[in-house]
Amino acid sequence: MKMRIIRFNELSKQDRPDGRTVTKIVQQELNQDVNSMQLLYVTHPRGLKEILHSHEKSYEMLLFLDEANYRINNEDYHINANDFVIFEPGDVHGAIPIDHEVRIWAFQNPAIIDDKIIRE
């Protein structure tokens, strides 16, 4: 299991001649055939304690719009706004309560129905 947290404020930015700024967040080999993906916008209410779970075959990539606390593979992490977390299949994770709402863009690749395994 190779969960990664990518800290947005630690990434290098590239200035383009036309004035754009581009930040490469991640390039990831998936080692699987992918014929579907899904993009979800998720809102965790204040104080949510999410059931620990993993995904059997899917990669899950979360872009946090707000600070959050997460339990990942038996360790607690503080996630900053704009951090990107990549979960490989089998990585156990779930939200730890925090005193505000947490907004997340969740990318799942491939999109597989019933791929979630409860681990608590």
Average pLDDT, the chain: 90
Question: Average of pLDDT values for 58-81?
Answer: 96
Does residue 87 surpass a pLDDT of 90?
yes
Answer yes or no: pTM beyond 0.85. no
- CATH class of the domain defined by 4-15+38-118: mainly beta
- Reported in sequence order, the residue ranges of the chain that DSSP labels E, i.e. its strands, are 4-6, 13-15, 21-23, 38-44, 53-55, 59-64, 68-72, 75-79, 84-87, 93-96, 102-109, 116-118
Does residue 1 surpass a pLDDT of 70?
no
> Number of helices and strands (H, E) in the chain?
0, 12
* Distance, CA of 116 to CA of 113 (rounded, Å): 8
Q: What is the pLDDT of residues 28-65, one digit of tens each?
A: 776 777 778 888 999 999 999 999 999 999 999 999 99
